[in-house]
Structure 1
Amino acid sequence: METVASGRFYDTHLPYVKLSGTPLEIGLGHGTFAKAQIVKAIEVYSTLYKESKNVSWDEARRRAAEYLPLLEKHPDILDELRGIAQGSGTDLLDIVALNVRSEITMVDISDGCTSLAQVESSTGDVYVGQNWDWIPEVDAATLWIELEQVGKPKLLFLAEAGIIGKYGFNSEGLAIMLNAISSNEVSYDKLPIHFTLRKCLEQESVEKTVDYLESNGCASCANLLMGDVNSYCSVEVSPRGIAIIKPDDDTGVVSHTNHLLDETLSKEFPCDTPILSSFARYDRIKELNVGSEGGFKSFRSRLGDIANAPKSICKYPEEGVTGLAKCCTLYTIIVNTKTKEANFSHGRPHDNPKEYRVSFS
Structure 2
Amino acid sequence: MTVVDCAGTGRERGRAHGEQAREAVRAALDRWRADVGGGAAGLVHTSPLPGTLRRLVPDLADELRGIAEGAAVPFEDVVAYNCMDEQWWLGRRHRRRAGCSVLGERAADGTRLAQNMDLPPSMDGTQIVLRLRPADGPEQLVLSAAGLIGLTGVNAAGVAVCVNTLGMLHGGPRGLPVAAVIRGALAGRTRQEALAFLSSVPHASGQHYAVADAGGLDSVECSAGGVVPWLAPGAGRLVHTNHPLANTDVDPVALEELRAEGRIGDSRARLDFLERAMGPSEGTAGLERLLEDDTVPVCMSGRPGWPMRTFGTVAYELGAQVRARFRLGLPGRAAWIEPGWTTAPAA
Conservation of the 8 A alpha-carbon contact between 2:103 and 2:113: yes
Aligned counterpart for 1:29 among listed residues 11, 16, 32:
16
Shift of 1:72: 3.2
Count of residue pairs the alignment pairs up: 329
Shift of 1:146: 0.6
Aligned counterpart for 1:42 among listed residues 29, 46, 51:
29
Give % identity.
25
Conservation of the 8 A alpha-carbon contact between 1:119 and 1:294: no
- The answer to whether structure 1 residue 86 and structure 2 residue 86 are counterparts is no
Conservation of the 8 A alpha-carbon contact between 1:306 and 1:315: yes
Shift of 1:36: 0.8
Q: Please list the CA deviations of residues 265-316 of structure 1 after superposition, one character each: whole Å capped at 9, or x if unmatched.
A: 3587973414111111011111112x341411110121122333xxx21222
What letter corresponds to residue 20 of structure 1 in structure 2?
A
Q: TM-score, normalised by structure 1?
A: 0.84
Q: TM-score, normalised by structure 2?
A: 0.87
CA 1:32 to 1:181, structure 2 compared with 1: closer, same or farther past 3 Å?
Answer: same
**Matched residue, 2:271:** 282
Shift of 1:342: 1.7
Conservation of the 8 A alpha-carbon contact between 2:100 and 2:242: yes
Aligned counterpart for 2:54 among listed residues 53, 68, 72:
72
Q: Could you tell me how far apart the structure 1 residues matched to 2:191 and 2:170 are?
A: 27
**Matched residue, 1:4:** none
- The answer to whether structure 1 residue 356 and structure 2 residue 340 are counterparts is no
What letter corresponds to residue 66 of structure 2 in structure 1?
G
Conservation of the 8 A alpha-carbon contact between 1:245 and 1:254: no
Q: Could you tell me how far apart the structure 2 residues matched to 1:76 and 1:199 are?
A: 10
**Matched residue, 2:244:** 260
**Matched residue, 1:53:** none
Aligned counterpart for 2:307 among listed residues 326, 331, 350:
326
CA 1:247 to 1:115, structure 2 compared with 1: closer, same or farther past 3 Å?
Answer: farther
**Matched residue, 1:151:** 136
What letter corresponds to residue 260 of structure 1 in structure 2?
P
CA 1:267 to 1:287, structure 2 compared with 1: closer, same or farther past 3 Å?
Answer: farther
Conservation of the 8 A alpha-carbon contact between 2:185 and 2:197: yes
**Matched residue, 1:304:** 292
User: SS where residue 314 of structure 1 aligns?
Assistant: coil
**Matched residue, 1:63:** 43
Aligned counterpart for 2:172 among listed residues 176, 182, 187:
187
> What is the alpha-carbon root mean square deviation over aligned residues?
2.4
**Matched residue, 1:16:** 3
Q: Please list the CA deviations of residues 159-193 of structure 1 after superposition, one character each: whole Å capped at 9, or x if unmatched.
A: 11111122110011011112112136432222111
**Matched residue, 2:147:** 162
Q: Could you tell me how far apart the structure 2 residues matched to 1:207 and 1:304 are?
A: 31
Conservation of the 8 A alpha-carbon contact between 1:17 and 1:145: yes
Conservation of the 8 A alpha-carbon contact between 2:195 and 2:211: no
What letter corresponds to residue 28 of structure 2 in structure 1?
A
Conservation of the 8 A alpha-carbon contact between 1:41 and 1:161: yes
What letter corresponds to residue 27 of structure 1 in structure 2?
G
Shift of 1:253: 1.3
Can you give the 5+ residue segments of structure 1 that lack an aligned partner in the other structure?
A: 1-7, 9-14, 50-55
Q: Could you tell me how far apart the structure 1 residues matched to 2:6 and 2:219 are?
A: 29
User: SS where residue 264 of structure 1 aligns?
Assistant: coil
What letter corresponds to residue 40 of structure 2 in structure 1?
A
Moved more, 236-245 or 298-307: 298-307
CA 1:347 to 1:144, structure 2 compared with 1: closer, same or farther past 3 Å?
Answer: closer
- The answer to whether structure 1 residue 246 and structure 2 residue 246 are counterparts is no
Q: Could you tell me how far apart the structure 2 residues matched to 1:293 and 1:348 are?
A: 25
Q: Could you tell me how far apart the structure 1 residues matched to 2:168 and 2:203 are?
A: 12
Can you give the 5+ residue segments of structure 2 that lack an aligned partner in the other structure?
A: 343-347
Q: Could you tell me how far apart the structure 2 residues matched to 1:16 and 1:358 are?
A: 7
CA 1:118 to 1:83, structure 2 compared with 1: closer, same or farther past 3 Å?
Answer: same
Conservation of the 8 A alpha-carbon contact between 1:331 and 1:347: yes
What letter corresponds to residue 71 of structure 1 in structure 2?
L
CA 1:242 to 1:184, structure 2 compared with 1: closer, same or farther past 3 Å?
Answer: closer
Shift of 1:202: 0.8
